Structure 1
Amino acid sequence: MPTLTRRRSLPAAALAAGVLATAGLALAPPTATAATSSLPTAVYTKTSDWGSGFEAQYVVTNPLSVPLTPWNLQFTLPSTVRITSMWGGTDTPSGTTHNVVPQSYDTSIAPGASITIGFDASYSGAYTDPSGCKLNSNPCDGTGDTQAPTAPTGLTVLSTTAHAVSLSWTGSTDNVSVAGYNVYSGSTIVATSPGTAATVTGLAPSTAYSFTVRAYDTSGNLSAAGAAVSATTLADTGGGHLPGVAAPFVDIGAWPTPDLTQIAETTGLRQFSLGFIVNGTATCTPSWFNAFAMDAGFEQSDIASLRGIGGDVKPSFGGEAGTELAQSCTDVTSLTAAYQSAITAYGLTQIDFDIEGSAVADHTSIDRRSQAIAALQRTAAAAGKQLAVTLTLPILPSGLTADGLYVVQSAVKYGAKVTMVNGMAMDFGDIEAPNPSGKMGTYAIDTAQSLYNQLTPLYPSLTSAQVWNMIGVTPMIGQNDNSSEVFYQADMSQLLTFAQQQHLGELAFWDVTRDGNACTGSLSKCTDIPQAPYEFSKMIAPYQG
C-alpha cells in the first residue's frame, strides 16, 4: 500500500475557473468608470461629548460601481486626545496618527454601500476635530486620485471547453492600489476577477471569441485594455457528464497558516481540499490537526473571504497522521454528531474522508463511518440541502487495494452516496511502478483506468460517463516519498489531458503550499524540482472536466 508522509510544523502557540471567478455572458457585472468627483468618502461626525471625552464616527461610503477593496482610513488627532475604544475597524496608531483597517467581515465595501467606524476618546483642554483624513491615500472629501492603472499585459488562453474559456494575464500597476479586473468580449463585461485569472462561462460550442482585460483601482479609475486574445470553444460532444473541478489539497496545519483567498487570487484556483480534521485530545471530538476545535473559529474569516470570490473548501477527515474520528467514536450516533459539528461550524456542503494507514484496514470503523455518512446525508436532505462526499484512498496503478475497495463497498452497502472516489496516485513502489522516471503521469492515468474497472460493477446503474465522472486523481507533485518517483510538470500535463478526455470529476494534488514555495528542502514544504511558484496550481486551475 502506498503511504503518504505529511509532516507539518505547528505554530509555537499550538500552534476571493470550473470554479474561478466567473460570470456568464448574460450576467455582466457593473462597469468601473473613470474617477470624477464621485470617489469614496469618509465623513466625520462627533455624536456626543461629556466634557472629558467624546464619541465620534466616520461613515465610509462607496459610490463606485465596483467594490472598494481594500480600504484604509487614516486621520490625525491632537496630542491631547486618546482613543479608548473603536468598533467597525482595527486601529494601529503611530503617535497621533491613526491607521484603521477592516475587520475580517468588512474587507470589501459593496457598490453604493457604507460602513461606520466609531470610537470613544478621552481629551483634555479644548476639543478639536481630527485632521489629515485620507481614505486609501485620497482626501476623505472624495477628491484625489484620478490616475488609472496601467493596462494588463500578457493575456493568454489557459484552456477551452465547449462552453468556457479560461484566461490569465500579467497584473497592472497603480499609484494607489489595483482593485480588480474586468474581462470583455467586445464592449460587454463577461467576467470579473480580483486576481490575474478568470473563466468566461456560458459560451456557445465551436465559436470564436475575442477577449480583452482592463484593470480598475480602488478609486474606480479604469485602465486601457490590454492586447486582445482569441479563442475558439470546443465542439459539444455531449455525454451527460457533470463539470469537473480542480481541488488540490492544502495542508492547513502548515505554518504560517496558508491564506486561501490570497492563493485563489494568485492562482485562479477556487476550490481547496483542506487537511485534516482528526480526533482531538478528548475521545470522539473533532479537531483541526489536534490543535483547534470546531468552535475555535480557525480559518473562518479566510473561508468566508474565499466564498466571497466564488470559492469554497472541502475539509478532509483523516489523513496519514492522527486518529480518524470513526476509530475514536464507538457508535454511529456519536460519530454522526462529531462529523455534523464540523459541517455546522463551517456551513459545509462537501466533505472528504482521507482514509489511509491503520484506518483503511479497520473494517469496523469503516462500516461505522459509512452509516454515519448516510445519516448525515439524510439530515441534509431533510433540510433541503445536499452533502457531497469524497473518499480519498491509497491507490496503485493496478487499482485500489482490497482494503481500499472495501471502503467503497461499505458505502454502497449502507447507502452512503459517494460523489467521488479520489485515488492518491503516489508512492507506488518498485513492484507496481518499475523504472518510474518519466512515467509518473502514465502511472497516475493507470490508477484512474483501474479505478474505473473497480467502480463499474459496484455502480451498475451508472453509465460509463458517470463512472468516469466520479473518479478523482491526486498525485504528489515533485519528489515523492519514494526517492525514485518524481512527478514533473510534464506528468501533470499528461494527466490533465487524460482528465479532460475522460471528464474526470476531480483533479488534485498534494499540496498547494509545497507548490507555492517552489523550493528544495523538506518534502513537507518543497517539491524539490525546478519550478515557478504555484506552477502546478495554475496548470490545473482552469480544469472543468
Structure 2
Amino acid sequence: MRRPSVLLTLFAGLLLMILAPPASAAGTPNAVFSKTSTWEGGYQGAYTITNAGSTTLSAWSVEFDLPSGTGVGSYWDALLTQSGNHYTFKNREYNGTLAPGASASFGWVSNGSGTPAGCRFNGASCTGGSSTDTTPPSVPGGVTVGFATASALTVRWSAATDDSGSVAGYEISRDGGTPVTATGTSYTATGLQAGTSYSFRVRARDAAGNVSAYSAAVSGTTSTGSQQPSGGLSTAPYIDMGAWPTPSMPDMASASGLKNYTMAFITASGCKAMWFNAYDPRDGWAKDQIDAIRAAGGDVKVSFGGASGIELAQACSSVDALYAEYNAVVNAYGLKYVDFDIEGAATADPASVARRSQALARLQQAHPGLRISLTLPVLPEGLTADGLSVVQSARDAGVDVDVVNVMAMDYYRSVDYGDAAVQAAQSTFSQLKSLYPGRTDAQVWAMVGVTPMLGQNDDGHVYDQADARQLVSFAQDKHLGELAFWEATRDRNACTGALYQCTNIPQSPYEFAKIFAAYSG
C-alpha cells in the first residue's frame, strides 16, 4: 500500500480540526446559568450541572463573581462560601455524585440584577454549551386549572423533558398575554376578577433559551365572592393529644375563649398513620371532640410529624403509599386543615421532602380547598436553608401552601424572645417574598404563621405574657396568616414542674389563650 503525500496528510489533519467539535462541547461536564424568574431589583438564579463525560463525577464546585451591588440571599441544594464578591457553591452530600449523563442543579435568590461572571466548574472554565444547543424541550402535558378562589387560579402541568437532561423553567401565558415564568410544575395567577373565565397555555424553556411550543389552552373560572373558601384558622394553638389524661378540647375552648386547635401529632407506625403510635385515625379516635368543636363554631387542624416519632414521609417508600395515609386521615375527620410539623433530620432528607411534596399536591387535587400549613424551625434570621428547601419543594410540586408556620422558640442564644419572634416573622416574610415574587406583600404576610413556646423554653429562656401581647399586636398590624403556641395544656395547668406540662412562670390558667384569642386575622 502506498503512503499518502505529506501535503495530503496535513490537509486532512486541518480538515479534522475544523470539522471536529471542541472537546468542551461534548464529553466534558459543564455548568449552565439561567435566570428562572426575575423581578424588579432581583432574580432567582440557577446553575444546571450536567456530566457529559464518560466517567462518574464524585463532587462538583461552581464559582463565579457577582458585580458590586448584587449579592446572594437565600440559596438551596449547595453549600456556599463567599470571599468579597466571589462565590463558591459546592455540592451537598446528596447531589455530588453524577453518573455519565446525569444532572444536578442549585439555585439562589439574588439581591440585585447583576449576573455571574468568570464562572469556573471544578477549577476549569464553565463550558455552558448554549451556543450549540438548538433543540427545544418537549411540550408540557397534563395541563389543568384548579384550586379556584375569587381572585386566583392555580395551573398545574406535567414536567417536560429536554436533551440537555433538565428543563430550566416554564412560561405561562394567560389569555394570550405576555408569559410569566415558573420553575416548578405549577403557577398561581393572582389578582383576578371573581366569577371570570381565564385561559392558560404553558411552554418549557431550557438553559440555552430554546422554548417548546405552547400546550393547548385550558380554562378555569374564579369563584364568586360567596363561593370563596372560608378563611384559615387565625388562632389555633397546638394541643398535645398524647398527654394523660387525654385533653378535652371542648372543655378547654369553653374555659379559654379560643375556638380552634391544632391537634398533635399523627406519626408513623411503619407506613401507617397513627396517633402518637397508639390509635388509628381511621377508627375516628377523638372525632367526638372534633364534632363538638365544630358545633360550637370552631374547627381543628390535624398535625403530622413533630419532634418525636417518625413522620410518614420518612416511613413510606412511595408517593402512592404516603398519599393513601394522608388521604385516610383527611377522610376520617372531614378535614379542611392539615399541618406538617417537619423537624430535625426530616428537614434535611431530600427524598422524604420530595415524596411529601408530591403526595400533598395529590391530596389537594383530591380535596379542593384543603389548606396546608408547613411548620418549620426558625432563627431570628429566618428559616434555615433546609427549611427553605421544604417550602420550595412544596411550591415546585404544585402545593398551594396556606401558611408557613415558624417555631419561634429554643434559639439557644441570649436574645429577648418576644423581639426574636417578631424578627423571625419579618425574616420569614422576606424569604417567602423571594419564593413567591408574584404575590403582593399582603398575600405573603397572610402566609406567615408564628408559634412560640409559652413560658420557659427548653433552653431556659422565657417567653412571657408581654411577649405574647407584642406578637398579637404585630400580627394585627401585618395580618399574619396564623398565630399558635406550644402548648394548650401547659397554659391550662399554669404550673411549675416538668416542661411537658408546665410553663414555669407566674400565670393564671388560660392566660396566654386569652391574650391570643384577641387575634382574629
Q: TM-score range by the shorter chain?
A: 0.5 to 0.7
Q: Structure 2 matches for 1:19-418, cutoff 5 A?
A: 245-280=234-269, 283-381=270-368, 386-418=369-401
Letter in structure 2 aligned against 1:468: W
Say which SS state the counterpart of residue 246 (structure 1) adopts.
coil
Q: 2: CA distance between counterparts of 1:339 and 1:296? A: 14
Q: 2: CA distance between counterparts of 1:391 and 1:426? A: 16
In the TM superposition, what is the alpha-carbon distance from 1:503 to its structure 2 partner?
Answer: 0.5
| Contact kept? 1:320, 1:356, Cα under 8 Å | yes
**Unmatched segments (≥5 aa) in structure 1:** 1-240
Aligned position for 1:186: none
Letter in structure 2 aligned against 1:271: N
Q: 2: CA distance between counterparts of 1:330 and 1:297? A: 25
Q: 2: CA distance between counterparts of 1:317 and 1:490? A: 30
| Contact kept? 2:232, 2:371, Cα under 8 Å | no
Q: 2:494 aligns with which of 510, 518, 526?
A: 518
Q: 1: CA distance between counterparts of 2:473 and 2:501? A: 27
Say which SS state the counterpart of residue 298 (structure 1) adopts.
coil
Q: Does 1:474 align with 2:451?
A: yes
Aligned position for 2:516: 540
Listed one character per residue, the Cα deviations across residues 343-382 of structure 1 (whole Å, up to 9, x for unaligned) are 011110110000001111111100100000000001113x
| Contact kept? 2:248, 2:289, Cα under 8 Å | yes
Letter in structure 2 aligned against 1:413: D
Aligned position for 2:426: 449
Letter in structure 2 aligned against 1:524: Y
In the TM superposition, what is the alpha-carbon distance from 1:268 to its structure 2 partner?
Answer: 1.4
Listed one character per residue, the Cα deviations across residues 446-477 of structure 1 (whole Å, up to 9, x for unaligned) are 00000011000111121001100110000000
In the TM superposition, what is the alpha-carbon distance from 1:297 to its structure 2 partner?
Answer: 2.8
**Unmatched segments (≥5 aa) in structure 2:** 1-229
| Contact kept? 1:244, 1:503, Cα under 8 Å | no
| Contact kept? 1:276, 1:315, Cα under 8 Å | yes
In the TM superposition, what is the alpha-carbon distance from 1:296 to its structure 2 partner?
Answer: 2.9
| Contact kept? 1:340, 1:376, Cα under 8 Å | yes
Say which SS state the counterpart of residue 419 (structure 1) adopts.
strand
Q: 2: CA distance between counterparts of 1:412 and 1:340? A: 20
Q: 2: CA distance between counterparts of 1:458 and 1:451? A: 11
| Contact kept? 1:244, 1:543, Cα under 8 Å | no
Listed one character per residue, the Cα deviations across residues 375-430 of structure 1 (whole Å, up to 9, x for unaligned) are 0001113xxxx100000000000000011000001011110110000000000112
Aligned position for 1:28: none
In the TM superposition, what is the alpha-carbon distance from 1:242 to its structure 2 partner?
Answer: 6.2
In the TM superposition, what is the alpha-carbon distance from 1:529 to its structure 2 partner?
Answer: 0.2
User: RMSD value over aligned CA atoms?
Assistant: 1.3
Say which SS state the counterpart of residue 264 (structure 2) adopts.
strand
Letter in structure 1 aligned against 2:511: E
Letter in structure 2 aligned against 1:269: L
Aligned position for 1:8: none
| Contact kept? 2:472, 2:518, Cα under 8 Å | no
Letter in structure 2 aligned against 1:416: V
In the TM superposition, what is the alpha-carbon distance from 1:243 to its structure 2 partner?
Answer: 6.9
Q: 1: CA distance between counterparts of 2:412 and 2:492? A: 27
Q: 2: CA distance between counterparts of 1:268 and 1:290? A: 31
In the TM superposition, what is the alpha-carbon distance from 1:306 to its structure 2 partner?
Answer: 1.0
| Contact kept? 2:322, 2:359, Cα under 8 Å | yes
Q: 2: CA distance between counterparts of 1:348 and 1:417? A: 16
| Contact kept? 1:279, 1:290, Cα under 8 Å | yes
Listed one character per residue, the Cα deviations across residues 211-267 of structure 1 (whole Å, up to 9, x for unaligned) are xxxxxxxxxxxxxxxxxxxxxxxxxxxxxx967611110001101111001111111
Letter in structure 1 aligned against 2:430: N
Query: Relative contact order (C-alpha < 8 Å, sep 6+): which is higher?
Result: 1
Q: 1: CA distance between counterparts of 2:363 and 2:232? A: 24
Q: 1: CA distance between counterparts of 2:399 and 2:506? A: 42
Q: 1: CA distance between counterparts of 2:517 and 2:370? A: 23
In the TM superposition, what is the alpha-carbon distance from 1:491 to its structure 2 partner?
Answer: 0.5
Aligned position for 2:164: none
Q: 2: CA distance between counterparts of 1:260 and 1:243? A: 19
Greater helix proportion: 2
Q: 2: CA distance between counterparts of 1:274 and 1:542? A: 21
Letter in structure 2 aligned against 1:412: R
Say which SS state the counterpart of residue 320 (structure 1) adopts.
coil
| Contact kept? 2:338, 2:372, Cα under 8 Å | yes
In the TM superposition, what is the alpha-carbon distance from 1:295 to its structure 2 partner?
Answer: 2.4
| Contact kept? 2:381, 2:423, Cα under 8 Å | yes
Q: Does 1:527 align with 2:503?
A: yes
Say which SS state the counterpart of residue 509 (structure 1) adopts.
coil
| Contact kept? 1:476, 1:509, Cα under 8 Å | yes
Q: 1: CA distance between counterparts of 2:441 and 2:343? A: 28
| Contact kept? 1:242, 1:505, Cα under 8 Å | no
Aligned position for 2:4: none
Letter in structure 2 aligned against 1:310: G
Q: 1:462 aligns with which of 439, 442, 456?
A: 439
